[in-house]
Amino acid sequence: MRTLPSWVITLLSMAVVLAIWIGITSGGLVRDLFLPGPLDLWDGFMELVQDGYKGRPLLEHVGMSLFRVIAGFLTGAAAGTLLGLGMGYSPRINALAAPFIEFLRPLPQLAYLVLLIIWLGIGETSKVTMLFLAALPVSAIAARDGVANVPPERVSVALALGASRWQVFRYVIIPSALPEILVGARLAAGIVYGTLIAAEIIAGSNGIGWMILDAGRFLRSDYVFAGIGMIGITGILIDRLLLLIERRVVHWAGR
Amino acid sequence: MSTTVAILPPARLGQRMRLSTLPRQLLGAAAVAAMVAGWWVIAATGMVRADLLPSPLDVWDALVEVTRDGYRGTTLWGNALSTLERLLSGFGLATLVGVPLGLWMGSNRVTHAAVDWIIQFMRPLPPLSYMILLILWLGTGDLSKSALLFLTAFPIIVASAAAGVRGVKQQRIQVALALGASRAQVFRHVIMPSAAPMVFTGLQIALAAAFSTVVSAELLAATDGLGWMVISASTFLRNDIIILCILILGALGFILASLLRATDRRLIHWRGRDS
């Protein structure tokens, strides 16, 4: 074992897990209501791809979920970043906004979803508002810390060389804070995505989260597994995409 | 979290002395007071229907009512305790199993190669997505919820502990070995202290994630707990109780995070002075 390359060990480990999975499902140890075999799972997935779920194509469910994530994330991250920049720039804004941000941040998002549904109805508005509120504090704190960590010498030098306050903000503070802002955005996207799935499970009528809840009610565990797999892959893709943007935009990070 | 510093040079700050002489805390308190006052005015003038937006006084009354009479046969403290119990049982177990596993993965290449893909697969999965499976397998009782919270916290804790060990500088280990330390001594006196900050960061993130998840799980399937109270109150349009629960949850989340942060500062007093 010690001489094998790591990737071989990983493959071996995957093979063992797969073998156990096939073993307990085909041996009839576990009923396929609870755990579908790999082949059943694949069949279920192909069925979903071809026929959709409950009269809607699969892509529509995924698309609905993605639309909500993007709408909530973009608005929340934009507003949070602006607020955070202000909070980092001015101690007064920070003192005013910090209590709300610190309250909102650890608050379980689903708890206020219930209130938002009562206020705004069960449609898109309440979900997107919740995602907005989920992204806001994370982005705000990242932007605030990004600004706070700008070396004061840089600002002093720029001012000494005759830069206006706006120029300092635009050409010194923003570039220095951008790496942290983008890391915060990636964190916020993960939180928004996880929150959305939970929201669709608790109060949805479409979307990929709702799909697995509904499939679970009908004991279609192959659909549930396929749905979980798709949720995982979509989540990873969102994260990778943001990482790619991050590397492109802040190619100077770490230098 | 780093504190915000004034990045404007003193001369510029001087022009704004009048407002900045107010202490920060006072300014924050004023903002909160202004918000509560605004809330009160909106509720009192009847701009919004009272059953949709109860006034701060109504929420206070709800607190008094719930502490005195309980809520639908349960008490507020009982519900808060159930939530905490679930949270801590899942999180505690994940800590007990996850930290040793992570440390082992960090120091052993074979274990890392065999287990890491599972952790990396689980980590980005929203916990609620597999809640349905857990209910299917383990029933709607506390077992499925504890398992859910375990699975929420576990990959975060393992990944950070493993990363902590793998981030230990090789020279340190080699120096210790060259000076005649045994493997156990290296682990105890070199690897553990270097990895501890990462381990604790992981615990903090995991607890926050588990806290969010426990409330979602209670909204979905529970017969007690603060999350259950929220969803139950919503079916009776008791918005005063919902807001009360949200405030309590916010306070609870804040207290939990502060507790871990304080423990972190106590235990890992060398954090950030490590180069």
Picking from A183, A204, A178, A215, the residue whose alpha carbon sits closest to that of residue A67 is A204
Nearest to A91 among B20, B133, B215 (CB): B20
For residues B153 and B119, the answer to whether their CB atoms sit within 8 Å is no
Structure token digits, residue A110: 């689903």
**ipTM of this predicted complex?**
0.83
B43 CA: distance to closest CA in chain A (Å): 14
Picking from A105, A255, A246, A92, the residue whose alpha carbon sits closest to that of residue A180 is A246
Average pLDDT over residues B182-207: 89
Lowest mean pLDDT among A132-141, B143-152, B167-176: B167-176
A190 CA: distance to closest CA in chain B (Å): 8
Q: Helix or strand or coil: residue B74?
A: strand
Q: Do A14 and B6 touch (CB under 8 A)?
A: no
pLDDT of A78 above 50 = yes
pLDDT at A142: 93
Lowest mean pLDDT among A30-34, A118-122, A183-187, B178-182: A30-34
Mean pLDDT rounded to a whole number for chain B: 84
Residues 44-83 of A with CB under 8 A from B: none
Lowest mean pLDDT among A11-15, A29-33, A39-43, B33-37: A29-33
Average pLDDT over residues B74-80: 87
Instruction: Kindly provide the b/e burial profile for residues A157-175, where b requires at least 16 CB atoms within 10 angstroms of the residue's own CB.
Output: ebbeeebeeeebbeebbbe
- In CATH, which superfamily holds the domain spanning A36-249? MetI-like (1.10.3720.10)
Residue B265 and residue A152: Cα distance in Å, rounded? 26
What is the tens place of the pLDDT at every residue in A125-169? Answer: 999 999 999 999 999 999 999 998 888 888 889 988 988 888 888
Q: Do B128 and A13 touch (CB under 8 A)?
A: no
**Residue A86 contacts B, CB cutoff 8 Å:** no
Q: pLDDT-based confidence at B272, cuts 50/70/90? A: low
pLDDT at B9: 45
What is the tens place of the pLDDT at every residue in A183-226? Answer: 899 999 999 998 998 888 888 788 888 998 888 888 888 888 88
Residue A111 and residue A100: Cα distance in Å, rounded? 16
**Residue A226 contacts B, CB cutoff 8 Å:** no
pLDDT at B160: 93
Mean pLDDT rounded to a whole number for chain A: 88
pLDDT at A1: 64
Q: Do A212 and B132 touch (CB under 8 A)?
A: yes
pTM recorded for the entire structure: 0.84
pLDDT at A255: 57
pLDDT of B186 above 50 = yes
Nearest to A108 among B9, B216, B257 (CB): B216
List CB contacts (< 8 A) between B245 and chain A: 111
B195 CA: distance to closest CA in chain A (Å): 22
pLDDT at B21: 55
For residues B127 and B148, the answer to whether their CB atoms sit within 8 Å is yes
pLDDT of B273 above 80 = no
Average pLDDT over residues B241-254: 91
pLDDT at B11: 41
